[in-house]
A and B are shown apart, each in its own frame.
Chain A
Amino acid sequence: DIQMTQSPASLSTSLGETVTIDCRTSEDIYSSLAWYQQKPGNSPQLLIYDANNLADGVPSRFSGSGSGTQYSLKINSLQSEDVASYFCQQYNNYPLTFGSGTKLVIK
């Protein structure tokens, strides 16, 4: 199984700031990586696919980057509605696997 190492586990930051969440995979996944946002009590929502493509309806302050085994999610100009947990997921190999999540809170 491909291991997903996501960091940090939690992040406290201020409105308007920029945050970066990292996801490292145990082997090359050839950019087959998605990022999800999950707000409390809700289902995950797709933000980014193929490492750097914005899903439909997702604000442009979200962006993804990376290749090989190293990937990142960046959120510019943090808004209050961005308070959520964020997960990465690889879909290059079975079983599909997810990162352990990053909980983002506002200071």
Chain B
Amino acid sequence: QVQLQQSGAELAKPGSSVKISCKASGYTFTSYAMHWIKQTTGQALEWTGYIAPGSGGTKYNEKFKGKATLTVDKSSSTAYMQLSSLTPVDTAVYYCARAEVPGYWRFAYWGQGTLVTVSS
């Protein structure tokens, strides 16, 4: 079965960077784009962008360009999102998610989420 296993919670200082991971299993990693979604404590959900593991191609929400960098390691079926120049507004739970059908971006599979807390 499809599983997306995310890395653990991060506590980071303002101005620093964090890199969170999402290890995929149960399917061919290179066949499905991996999306990343931010959820703040107020519950709002924001789509950050996606990466196509097969090609490395990316598409970002303009709002997160310069903030998020998406990469993959095909050898370990792991997707990564690096968040840079952190500020308290980056404090959120970040999910990786995969669609059921490529190109139809409704998400049938989600990781368990990674809490990133930015605080001095």
Within 8 Å by CB of A98, from B47, B59, B62, B108, lies B47
The answer to whether A101 and B44 touch across the interface, beta carbons within 8 angstroms, is: yes
Stretch at the interface among B24-32, B77-85, B110-118: B110-118
Q: Which of A50, A56, A95, A97 has the most CB of B within 10 A?
A: A95
Docked complex Cα distance between A94 and B111 (Å) = 22
A43-B95, A87-B45, A100-B44 given; A94·B59 CB < 8 A: yes
**B61 CB contact (under 8 Å) in A46, A85, A95:** A95
Chain B at the A interface: SS class? strand
Q: A-contacting residues of B (Cβ < 8 Å)?
A: 35, 43-47, 59, 61-63, 95, 100, 104-108, 110-113
With beta carbons under 8 angstroms apart, the residue of B44, B47, B113 that contacts A43 is B113
Give the chain A neighbours of B108 by CB distance below 8 A.
Answer: 46, 55-56
Cα–Cα, bound, A46→B105 (Å):
11
Q: Are A43 and B59 in contact (CB under 8 A)?
A: no
In the A-B complex, the 6 residue pairs with the closest CB atoms: A43-B110, A34-B106, A98-B45, A91-B105, A96-B47, A95-B61
The residue in chain A whose Cβ has the minimal distance to the Cβ of B106 is A34
A89 touches B (CB below 8 Å): yes
| Complex CA–CA separation, A63 to B95 (angstroms) | 26
Residues on A lying within 8 angstroms of B by beta carbon are 32, 34, 36, 43-46, 49-50, 55-56, 85, 87, 89, 91, 94-98, 100-101, 103
Q: Are B47 and A95 in contact (CB under 8 A)?
A: yes
**Whole-angstrom CA separation of A43 from B95 in the bound complex:** 8
**Is A100 touching B43 in the complex (CB atoms < 8 A)?**
yes
A44 touches B107 (CB 8 A): yes
Asked if A43 and B111 sit within 8 Å, CB to CB, the answer is yes
